Every structure is written in C-alpha cells, then in structure tokens.
Structure 1
Amino acid sequence: MAEDEPQWWYNSRTGQTERGMLSNAIDRVGPFATEEEAKRAPEKLRENSQRWAAEEAADNDWGKH
C-alpha cells in the first residue's frame, strides 16, 4: 500500500467498512491494509479479547502458587 493511499477502517457503530478516516475516532477500528481485513475487525476483536482474558486468568492463577 502506498503511503498516500487511504487505509481501511471498520466503523463499530454502523458495522460498515470505510476507506479513509471518515467517521469519528471513537467509532473507528483500524487501520487495515485491505477492506477484507477491515471486515474481519469484529472477529479479530473477539479473538483478542478472549486471548487477553485467558492470559489474565493464567496470570492470576500463577500468583496464587
């Protein structure tokens, strides 16, 4: 992707992808290199959230020993 090309974002309020920073920052997730990556944003956020929760639980269990 060229430096001056707009990147893709996922709008968490509307559920739509956007090319460039069109929405308010609070509603945008990204940037992504492609529209397809931006469309996967909700899935990626769920995966990250689950992974972080598991890591936090493991850290808490480790501290009990």
Structure 2
Amino acid sequence: MGGDEKYWYNMATGAVEKGFESPAIDRAGPFDTAEEAARAPEILAERSRAWAEEERAEDE
C-alpha cells in the first residue's frame, strides 16, 4: 500500500486525509486507518515520551 493509499493527519488543520492532499510539512503519518490517523497527536506524544525515556536510560 503506497502513501497515497494511506491516511495522514494534517497538523495545520487537524483533519484526517487520505493520500497526499496536503504539503508534506503539514502531514503526520502514514497511518493504516482513518481512526489511527485521528489519534495522531496522542500517538506522537506517546512515541515522544518513549523516546525520551530511552534517551534517559541510555544517559544513565
């Protein structure tokens, strides 16, 4: 499945989009489902917390 068939979260508008509707700078994704794309801010925050915890563990 190519990126044009996946779902994206538009960071500027908060809209879920299918395919490359918006400029890349505004898109987060890709996601397999529209529901997953709608949760993009939550998913990105979870990933960011996990990366920060990994970095802290590596620094110790």
Establish whether TM, by shorter chain, passes 0.5: yes
Following TM superposition, the consecutive aligned residue runs of length 4 or more in structure 1 with deviations greater than 6 angstroms are: none
Q: Which runs of 5+ in 1 are unaligned?
A: none
Could you list the runs of 5+ residues in structure 2 that have no partner in the other structure?
A: none
- Residue in 2 aligned with 1:19? 18
Larger helix percent? 2
Any idea what the Cα deviations from partners look like across 1:7-61, whole Å, max 9, x if unmatched?
2100011111011110000110111111001001111100000000011011111
Kindly tell me the number of residue pairs found equivalent between the two proteins: 59
Report the TM-score when normalising by structure 2: 0.87
Percent identity of paired positions between Structure 1 and Structure 2 = 53
Secondary structure of residue in 2 paired with 1:55: helix
Number of the residue aligned with 2:32: 33
Secondary structure, counterpart of 1:15 in structure 2: coil
In the alignment, residue 46 of structure 1 is paired with which amino acid? A
RMSD of Structure 2 on Structure 1 (CA): 1.5
Structure with larger Rg = 1
Residue of structure 1 in register with 2:5 after alignment: 6
